[in-house]
Amino acid sequence: MIRKKPLTLFFATLAAGLAPCLGFAFDVAATRAAAEAQANKDASQLFALYKDLHEHPELGYQEKRTAALLAKEMRALGFTVTEGVGKTGIVALYKNGAGPVVLVRTDIDALPIQEETGLPYASHVKQITRTGRESFVFHGCGHDTHMATWVGTARALLAMKDRWHGTLMFIGQPAEEGGNGAKAMIDDGLFTRFPRPDFAFGLHNSADPPGVYYKPGVASSSVDDFQIVFHGRSSHGSRPNMGIDPVLMAARFAVDVQAVISREKDPAAFGVIAVGSIDSGPLGNGTPDKATVRGATRAQDTEVREKLLAGIQRTAKAEADMAGAPAPPDFDLRRGYTMIVNDAALTERTAAVFRTAFGADTHELLVPETGSEDFSEYGVAGVPSFYFRIGAYDPQRVAEAKQKGEVLPVHHSSKYLPAAQEVIRTGTQAMTLAVVNVMQTK
């Protein structure tokens, strides 16, 4: 269920009519038509690239084949390409006279999931995950559609070089799925070894009907992972009085910590504390000496984020105190991604062009995504950034599912299948317009 502001035809028409007053010094309709023509011309080539990437997915920091394929595409277009930035990332630069430097990011990694889409070009790839296990690999987040769109955008921009000036900085970012790939690229000199961008754009396919979706301001949630080890004293199952039970501490913690959500944070503010794992070993008939709890928090506001993390630590300590634990719990926090904050001026500027180009298919969202994304890092590094989504559900599939009472698979499901051609076609037009808008020559 998406919550969005309705955009009536009246406003769409008004926006189109007001286009010159809104400061568009370029012809939005003609630029869109040129991008669409190029995307149509490249359609079979881009779809073939998508299928190749889909069939050969790679996990974060293992995207060697993927990066090489993208580097080859960009070199063929005349970009200067540097590989191995942030381990497996690539930076492709194209200078077209003086002007702003504009970053266009695609993520390039896949997930440790066994694909169940039944596609003829389904993945059978296996790789070793970060935790050392062998797993099937699948583009279950649709980053393959982003890569094809990224190449499509580069092609469209090069076909209309007279409409913009400046430097294109196309980056293929590794390890978006929990691997801090954006930070790895920044730490490896993304903004010091290469020109510092004036603007950054990123997109994601979305489990929504076709269209362009964006959220001004905070657009995604933060995510932080935590692990707590409760210490007890082991004992035989028949003599619990001889032990101190860490399983009870963990179980109480899992329940009590939800009061931080219901009673400590602002009820109107978004926040999640997920406890996904309680592990105290294989023995059922006994008291173990420790229990490990793993979980993650999400927030859309820095104050809430810190409140949740403090509440977790306080609750864990209180459970251990109450049980008379021999030692306080060990708390291990791994800070993950912060919220994406879409730059206000860049959002207004880009959304105005989207509304003119796509009319009622442009959707301003009222609430941020509950998911998280490390596109936020480019904004944190001080680059005005804008992140938007492209609806990737085929309306016919949505209608059929509704009729049958079925729920369509979403991102990270083994059956998630975005309408790739739609993402590539609309994504290429939207991204091309966003870029030309900030690099326009006329």
Residues that bind Zn ion (CB under 5 A): 141
Question: Beta strand pairing status for 362-365 and 212-214?
Answer: parallel
What pairs with residue 251 in β-bridges? Answer: none
Minimum CB distance to Zn ion smaller for 178 or for 195: 178
Q: How far is the CB of 409 from Zn ion (least distance, A)?
A: 13
Q: How far is the CB of 205 from Zn ion (least distance, A)?
A: 8
Q: How far is the CB of 65 from Zn ion (least distance, A)?
A: 19
Please provide residue 412's backbone torsions phi and psi, each rounded to the nearest 5 degrees: 75, 5
Minimum CB distance to Zn ion smaller for 179 or for 232: 179
Q: How far apart are CA 438 and CA 345, in angstroms?
A: 11
Minimum CB distance to Zn ion smaller for 49 or for 141: 141
Q: Identity (one letter) of the amino acid at 141?
A: C
Q: How far is the CB of 204 from Zn ion (least distance, A)?
A: 6
Q: How far apart are CA 145 and CA 133, in angstroms?
A: 27
Q: How far apart are CA 364 and CA 219, in angstroms?
A: 11
Minimum CB distance to Zn ion smaller for 35 or for 430: 430
Q: How far is the CB of 107 from Zn ion (least distance, A)?
A: 6
Q: How far is the CB of 206 from Zn ion (least distance, A)?
A: 10
Q: How far is the CB of 391 from Zn ion (least distance, A)?
A: 15
Q: In 3-state terms, what secondary structure has residue 23?
A: coil
Q: Identity (one letter) of the amino acid at 36?
A: E
Minimum CB distance to Zn ion smaller for 139 or for 355: 139
Question: Beta strand pairing status for 166-173 and 101-107?
Answer: parallel
Q: In 3-state terms, what secondary structure has residue 356?
A: helix
Minimum CB distance to Zn ion smaller for 141 or for 365: 141
Of 404, 401, 265, 254, the closest CA to residue 319 belongs to 254
Which residues 6+ apart lie within 8 Å of 3 measured at CB?
365, 366, 367
Minimum CB distance to Zn ion smaller for 336 or for 359: 336
Q: Which residue, judged by CB position, is nearest to Zn ion in the bound state?
A: 141
Of 90, 306, 49, the closest CA to residue 185 belongs to 90
Which residues 6+ apart lie within 8 Å of 347 measured at CB?
214, 216, 217, 386
DSSP state of 263: I
Minimum CB distance to Zn ion smaller for 181 or for 210: 181
Q: How far is the CB of 109 from Zn ion (least distance, A)?
A: 9
